[in-house]
Amino acid sequence: MWVACLAYALGRAGWVPSAWHGHFTDVWLLPAALPPVLWLHERLGWRRPGPPRTREVLAHLAGWSLLFEVIGPRFVSGVVGDPWDVAAYALGALVGLAWWRLLAAPITFDHLAPLYLWLEYVLAGNLLQRCRLHHITTLPTTGHVLVLGPGRGRFVLRLLRERPGLRVTLVDSSAGMLDRLRRDLQRAGVIDRARLVHADVTEWRPGRDTYDAVVSHFFLDCFDPPRLERVVHMVTGALRPDAPWLIADFTLPQPAWQRWRARAVHGLMYAFFHRIVGIPARRLTDPSPLLEQSGWRLQRRGAFNLGLLQSDVWQREAA
């Protein structure tokens, strides 16, 4: 809407070539004016919340065309109806609909799957992978490791290559991520040691498997406190008592200016992942107090990038 308002204002101010001056402003009229009109309707209880729907756009297009190009010219002297104005409104309606459809269909991790590795390289280079791998040697050399939200699997591929005696169960709610990961595991010749589970971890019950370790890298930050509690509870019940839990994630460092920097990065991250991808968390929740309540104790911690990221090893108290 703001882009349309700006374009409309530029057109009104005469900042576009005079040949298509009038039609330019007409194109942006509907995308700029419809959202506030519908917002008012929403406040008055005349419509359900949500982006403009196709029938609303078409109804307003018809209504405004009739009002400005047929009725107005009849009753207001000096105003002339122009079919090209209607064509310009219709073009605006199409532009608006394309944009509002895009907003109505949220982006998911499935959509991100093909771009995920590229996005990571471009935004963070090798930083996240260094953080994931920091404590890899604390994992057992044989047995069964549970990996939560493996995503595109940079960590898992490395783990299976380095530890031929390990099997993994990979649980992810994105079919797109899992499909691509399955293909990469096949290519690497390690698929026979991997079980891929398509499930929401907060609903998933691990059955009677008892895992020798768990890995959740850049995953716990997806959850709000109630869901995080469910995940910690599920994991605690699924592991052998001496099993380590490796967690690489974003964090808030102590020193003031590093904290402000981290807050700014988290703000951008959650603006994208909460508002656009729809993860439940609105902000970062430190899982440490929950882990401690469930009997976990921090064994090792590595900090990266001025405390923006950390890589932890946790183990249960009895162990």
Ligand X SMILES: C[S@@+](CC[C@H](N)C(=O)[O-])C[C@H]1O[C@@H](n2cnc3c(N)ncnc32)[C@H](O)[C@@H]1O
Q: Is 149 in the site for ligand X (CB under 6 A)?
A: yes
| CA–CA gap between residue 96 and residue 93 (Å, rounded) | 5
Count, residues near ligand X per rule CB under 6 A: 18
In the complex, the smallest distance separating the C-beta of residue 219 from ligand X, rounded to whole angstroms, is 5
Least spacing, CB of residue 149 vs ligand X, in Å: 3
The span from the CA of 173 to the CA of 176, in Å, is 9
The H or E element containing residue 311 is: strand 309-316
Task: Pick one of 25, 65, 173, 305: the residue that binds ligand X (CB under 6 A).
Answer: 173
218 sits near ligand X (criterion: CB under 6 A): yes
Spatial separation of the C-alpha atoms in residues 19 and 24, rounded to whole Å: 10
200 binds ligand X, rule: CB under 6 A: yes
**Considering only residues 64, 68, 109, 250, which one is a binding residue for ligand X as defined by CB under 6 A?**
109
**CA neighbor of 265 nearest in space, from 151, 123, 150, 80:** 123
What DSSP string runs through 156-217? HHHHHHH-TEEEEEEEES-HHHHHHHHHHHHHTT-GGGEEEEES-TTT---TT--BSEEEEE
- For 70, 119, 263, the CA distances from 91, given in Å and listed in that order, are 19, 34, 41
Q: Does 172 bind ligand X (CB under 6 A)?
A: yes
Q: Which of 222, 238, 247, 291 binds ligand X (CB under 6 A)?
A: 222
Residue selected from 5, 130, 202, 236 as contacting ligand X according to rule CB under 6 A: 202
Contact between 85 and 70 (Cβ < 8 Å): no
Nearer to ligand X, 25 or 173 (CB): 173
Site string for ligand X, 23-62 (x = CB under 6 A): ----------------------------------------
Q: Please report how close the Cβ of residue 110 comes to ligand X at its closest, in angstroms.
A: 8
Q: Write out the two tokens for 89.
A: 């409104």
Which residues of the chain form contacts with ligand X (CB under 6 A)? 109, 132, 149-151, 155, 171-174, 177, 200-202, 217-219, 222
